[in-house]
Structure 1
Amino acid sequence: MSQKEIFIDPITRIEGHLALRALVDTATRKPSDVWVFATMFRGFEVFLRGRPPEDAIHITSRICGVCGASHTNASMHAVDMAYGVAPEPLGVVLRNMAFAMTDALYDHPLILNMLGGPDYSELIVKKLTPSVWDDAQKTDAPHRDIHGFAKISDIMSALNPVSGKIWQLTMKYSRIAREAGVLIYGRHSHPSTVVPGGITTDLTNAEYLLVGYTYRLTKLTAWAKFLYAVWQDLVWFYEERHGYRDQGLTYKKHNMVSGGLFDDPEAYSSLDGSPEDFYKNVDQAASKRGIKPGAFVNGELVTKSYKEINLSIMEHVERAFYEDWKGAMPIYTEKDPEGNPLLWGKYDVAYHPWNKTTIPKPTARDWNGKYNWAAHVRFVWKDGTITPFEVGPIARLTVTAYQPNNYGSGNGVLKVTLPRSGGADDLPASVVDEMDLEWRAPPYSTTLQRVLARAFNVVVDVASAWDNVVKAVELVRNGRVKTSRPWTAPSRRTFGVGFTEAPRGTVRHWVVQEGGKIVNYQIHAPTTGNVSPKDKWGMSPFEQSVANTIVTEEVSPDQWEGVDFVRAIRSFDPCIACAVHLQVGENKIIKKMIVR
């Protein structure tokens, strides 16, 4: 067997600092082994210890310069629980409205069109797969009456960086989304108005805020219709005409988790009380989220419970650059606040995030040993099953689609009606009209289905924003304009867990506090689990997706650039990256700027 090594470091246009090594059989064009790994340590969990929990809400937003509000919100939920405080209903609505804009409707289009989009642009397709480009020039776009591009090649040209129409429109509409969110958050990407039990947004002129927000939402409604039509056509073209249907497959049976998003104002507000009561009743509130919490294990939706997901998350460091803390650090709790054993008693409780301690231990990279700065994140179920799992738009939509929700009966189909919208002067007139849009959960997650799910997620987020605008107007009209409740830190030890959904997937924060000081804090960004190293329970989604990708480049193996592999990776969670790799040694620093 002749092998070709493809080594890409860094992978650009992606959140975080990632690299990829693949050994590819040149005859089958498929990898025989894969490593995808994080190359940077940051240490937020370390320097949060000893600080007031409310500080974590603002410090953890600095984890990301794009979706900082996702970490703000996960931390906010964790601290709400640890303090036993919840906002007034209008505070919940304002939290939902702001997040829908500054993270969801700002970030999803940016990921689709500016970060992942160039992989399907004329510049890349014409260079690496010229036969695909030739076919695109001949193929009518099925939804051309909606998005206005006559041929598939016209869409590809519009995705060219800087000069392409879609690229340019993304700049404009992402700015509009940020403007709407900043009306509530005060700034982007690090919200300044979020506090335990509420939000400090000035509502002296609530009408101005709601009008300004709604004006921008009407524009984004037209934009969502346009985007979904564009990506429906690109996915159709690659799947139906060019054999890309199974590229980037993760698991043939779903292993997925969603933390849920968009709290119901009355249900979440009712959680106000003691930390223990907050935890006891959180499932009732979480079940009413617009996007649902839940977990699939080996193809079965085993739980819809926020609390059961918390009990099931395990993290270890066998092949990651950290010291195992078991036996060296304290166990803060063996059970949740209701007395249920962590990890269902099926695995050592030391490896639940409430008990995990981050102890970095950099060593030389070993492909058969430690090679990754991301730890192993696994799902431990009641029956003893332990498995890697996937998070992201396709996971949260699939989890939502298989239970009753605002957009479906639980049969695997989501249907959204977006209202008539104005202000689409730079979009086709057709997107102004009311439109019914549909998404069907696919049987498994692939590169293109992950992209299509992200496009439909924009549709769902617009619909959720409208739902919350209506609720805000009703609350203000009825004089219910309070947003926050006072909070104090319990002197006893209490625990909090916060789940939310970043554009890239489930964000999970855990806090242990005592007397207003953080005793322990743990963070799972979406990428933490998606890029975690392989172990005896299997490959992470990133590595699995590359392992199930075939090279389609129409050049000799010595010229392969790995475009199919980075398409698979970027379909999960690309974001702005600095694309700088530092290698330190012999008193010199080498900086590599690579664009792929």
Structure 2
Amino acid sequence: MSMRKIVIEPITRIEGHLGAVVDVDEATRTPKDAHVFATMFRGFEVFLRTKPPEDAIAITSRICGVCGASHSNASMHAVDMAYGAVPQPLGVLLRNMGFLMTDHLYDHSIILNILGAPDYSSLYVKKLTPMVYQEAQETLSPRRDIHGFTRISDIMDGFVPVAGKIWNLTVRYQRFAKEAGIMIYGKHPHPSTIIPGGIATDLTNPDSLIVGYTFRLNLLTAWVKYVYAIWEDLVWFYEEVVGYRDQGKTYDKPNYVSGGLFDDPEAYSSLSSEPEEFYKGMDEVALKRGIKPGIMINGELVSTSYKEINVSISEDVKTSFYEEWSTLFTDKDPEGTPLLWGKVNPVHHPWNKTTIPSPQPRDFSKKYSWVADVRLVWKDGTITPFEVGPLARLTVTAYQPSDLGPGNGILRVDLPKSGGATDLPESVSYPMTLAWRAPAYSTTMQRLLARAFSMVIHASHGWQSIVKAAELIRSGKVATSRPWKAPSRRTFGVGFTEAPRGTVRHWVVQEGGKIVNYQIHAPTTGNASPKNEYGRAPFEMSLLNSKVTEEVGPSEWQGLDYVRAIRSFDPCIACAVHVRLGSREIYRPLF
């Protein structure tokens, strides 16, 4: 058996610094081993210690230059809980309205059409899989009456960076989302108005805010109809015509986690101002979120509890560049439930975890990544890696009753008439009902489709929120925040929300207005975790389940299918040319 080692370092067009090594059987084009590794340590959890918890809302947004509001919102929820800081209903709505624009409609547009789409553009498809492009030239687009691209090859041409029509429209429409979000958050990517117990948005002229936000939401509603139709057709083509259906699969029976997204204004504003009681009330409040929280293990939805997600998250460092720790701030949650269900040492819960960096050479048999080993510990003793992201959260929501469906695995959204988008086909101005069915498991193409449908949901939630906000403003209920004060005793907070890439989780331990401990899980923390005795995380699994489809010999393989798999999770910022000074090798990635 002749093996080909494909090294992709850095993987470009993603957020941060990531590399992958895949060992591929040249005869079968099938991977035999794969490793994904993060190559940068930043240390936010270290320098947050001793800071005021309210400062974490602003500091943690600097973790990412694209979805900073995601970390601000997760931190906001954690600090709300630790302080017992409860916003007014309009404050909750404004938080939601800013978030769905700055991070979701803005970010999804870029991830899909600027960072991910070039992998399916004629620029690369013609070069690396010419037979696929020929097939695309001969295949009519099923939804051409909506998006206007007659053949699948026309969509691929539209994805070409800088020159393509879809690429250029994305540059235009992502700006509308950013502008709408900034009207509430003050700036992007680092919100300046999010505070414990509310939001500091200037409401001296609320009518102007409502009108400006609604104008942009109207344009973006047409945009999401257009984008979803395009990606429905491209996913259909690759799955049904090309045979790409199972490429990038993670698990036969999925393990998913969703923290939920978009709080109900009345429910969240009714939480207790006592931190422990705030925590105890979070299950009821989280279940009223527009997108639902939940845990799925081996394809079964086993929990919809915010608190059960919290006590189930474990973090280890056996295969990552950190030292072990022994701190124990608590062995149970504020309700008395043992952390990690008593199945695993509670020091491995994020409330207790201490970040101690330990730089060393990469060794795939031992430690090889700056991403820690994040796993889910369940009541029955099951310990497993898990996936987060648009597909995970939509699937978890699809199997619960919600405004989007009865819980039968199908989500359905009604979008209103949307005028004014003169550079889009007239067809997207009409009302539409769009639907999405949860697939049996996660694959490269289905992760892309779920991201596109997420945009549909966010536009719909925008309309619901703007109506509620207008009603509150007309009735004179313009207060957004309540006063807060740091408890002198030690208290705990946990904040879950959904970034475009998946669940963001923040944990804070505070005492007397000072951070005693702080831990952060971005979506990639779990998805990119290194292999340990409990299995492989989603990134590595997706590589192991991606065969090489490039129509060239092994010596010319570029890793197209592997970067497609990784970018389908959470691509963001393009990386620069990588220089390996030791051997004076310079890698200039094709993609």
* TM-score above 0.5: yes
Name the structure 2 match of 1:536. 533
- Distance between the aligned counterparts of 1:429 and 1:308, measured in 2? 47
- Deviation string 1:157-185 (CA, Å, 9 cap, x unpaired) is 00000000000000000001000000000
- Deviation string 1:78-129 (CA, Å, 9 cap, x unpaired) is 0000000110000000000000100000000100010010000000000000
- Deviation string 1:50-83 (CA, Å, 9 cap, x unpaired) is 0000000000000000000000000000000000
- Distance between the aligned counterparts of 1:110 and 1:526, measured in 2? 17
Name the structure 2 match of 1:375. 372
Quickly say closer, same or farther: Cα 1:591–1:484, change in 2 above 3 A: farther
Name the structure 2 match of 1:487. 484
Give the secondary-structure state (helix, strand or coil) at the position aligned to 2:453. helix
Give the secondary-structure state (helix, strand or coil) at the position aligned to 1:166. helix
Name the structure 2 match of 1:95. 95
- Distance between the aligned counterparts of 2:119 and 2:590, measured in 1? 11
- Deviation string 1:170-214 (CA, Å, 9 cap, x unpaired) is 000000100000000000000000000000001010000010000
Query: Does 2:550 align with 1:562?
Result: no
Name the structure 2 match of 1:344. 341
Q: What's the CA shift for 1:594?
A: 3.2
Q: What's the CA shift for 1:551?
A: 0.4
Name the structure 2 match of 1:579. 576
Give the secondary-structure state (helix, strand or coil) at the position aligned to 1:116. helix
- Distance between the aligned counterparts of 1:503 and 1:374, measured in 2? 19
Q: What's the CA shift for 1:579?
A: 2.6
- Deviation string 1:441-483 (CA, Å, 9 cap, x unpaired) is 0000000000000000000010111111111011111111000
Give the secondary-structure state (helix, strand or coil) at the position aligned to 1:480. coil
Name the structure 2 match of 1:32. 32
Q: What's the CA shift for 1:215?
A: 0.2
- The residue identity in structure 2 corresponding to 1:594 is P
Quickly say closer, same or farther: Cα 1:6–1:591, change in 2 above 3 A: closer
Give the secondary-structure state (helix, strand or coil) at the position aligned to 1:134. helix
1:313-332 superposed matches below 5 A: 313-326=313-326, 330-332=327-329
- After superposing on structure 2, the runs of 4+ consecutive aligned residues of structure 1 that deviate more than 6 Å are none
Segments of structure 1 that go 5 or more residues without pairing to the other structure are: none
Q: What's the CA shift for 1:367?
A: 1.4
Name the structure 1 match of 2:20. 20
Name the structure 1 match of 2:467. 470
1:342-421 superposed matches below 5 A: 342-421=339-418
Name the structure 2 match of 1:427. 424
- Deviation string 1:194-239 (CA, Å, 9 cap, x unpaired) is 0000000010100000100000000000000000000000000010
- Distance between the aligned counterparts of 1:582 and 1:528, measured in 2? 25
Query: Does 2:278 align with 1:278?
Result: yes
Name the structure 1 match of 2:455. 458
- Distance between the aligned counterparts of 1:453 and 1:36, measured in 2? 23
Name the structure 1 match of 2:240. 240
- The residue identity in structure 1 corresponding to 2:136 is A
Q: What's the CA shift for 1:593?
A: 4.8
How many pairs align?
591
- The residue identity in structure 2 corresponding to 1:454 is R
- Distance between the aligned counterparts of 1:510 and 1:33, measured in 2? 34
Quickly say closer, same or farther: Cα 1:278–1:584, change in 2 above 3 A: farther
Quickly say closer, same or farther: Cα 1:428–1:85, change in 2 above 3 A: same
- Distance between the aligned counterparts of 2:85 and 2:398, measured in 1? 31
Name the structure 1 match of 2:217. 217
Give the secondary-structure state (helix, strand or coil) at the position aligned to 1:501. strand
566, 589, 594: which one aligns with 2:589: 594
1:141-290 superposed matches below 5 A: 141-290=141-290
Q: What's the CA shift for 1:578?
A: 3.1
- Contact between 1:316 and 1:376, CA under 8 Å: does it hold in 2? yes
Quickly say closer, same or farther: Cα 1:399–1:173, change in 2 above 3 A: same
- Distance between the aligned counterparts of 2:172 and 2:586, measured in 1? 32
- Deviation string 1:326-350 (CA, Å, 9 cap, x unpaired) is 3xxx200001001110000010000
Give the secondary-structure state (helix, strand or coil) at the position aligned to 1:211. helix
Quickly say closer, same or farther: Cα 1:580–1:323, change in 2 above 3 A: farther
Name the structure 1 match of 2:441. 444
- The residue identity in structure 2 corresponding to 1:76 is M
Q: What's the CA shift for 1:27?
A: 1.0
Give the secondary-structure state (helix, strand or coil) at the position aligned to 1:558. helix
Query: Does 2:68 align with 1:68?
Result: yes
- Contact between 1:579 and 1:594, CA under 8 Å: does it hold in 2? no
- Contact between 1:158 and 1:164, CA under 8 Å: does it hold in 2? yes
- Distance between the aligned counterparts of 1:579 and 1:362, measured in 2? 23
- Contact between 2:255 and 2:298, CA under 8 Å: does it hold in 1? yes
- Distance between the aligned counterparts of 2:505 and 2:473, measured in 1? 32
- The residue identity in structure 2 corresponding to 1:202 is D
Q: What's the CA shift for 1:591?
A: 7.0
- Distance between the aligned counterparts of 1:582 and 1:188, measured in 2? 31
Quickly say closer, same or farther: Cα 1:516–1:147, change in 2 above 3 A: same
- Deviation string 1:271-299 (CA, Å, 9 cap, x unpaired) is 14100110010111100000000010111
- Distance between the aligned counterparts of 2:219 and 2:238, measured in 1? 30
- Deviation string 1:241-269 (CA, Å, 9 cap, x unpaired) is 11100000001111000000000000000
- Contact between 1:492 and 1:515, CA under 8 Å: does it hold in 2? yes
Quickly say closer, same or farther: Cα 1:486–1:580, change in 2 above 3 A: farther
- Contact between 2:10 and 2:575, CA under 8 Å: does it hold in 1? no
- The residue identity in structure 2 corresponding to 1:577 is A
- Distance between the aligned counterparts of 1:206 and 1:593, measured in 2? 50
Q: What's the CA shift for 1:583?
A: 4.3
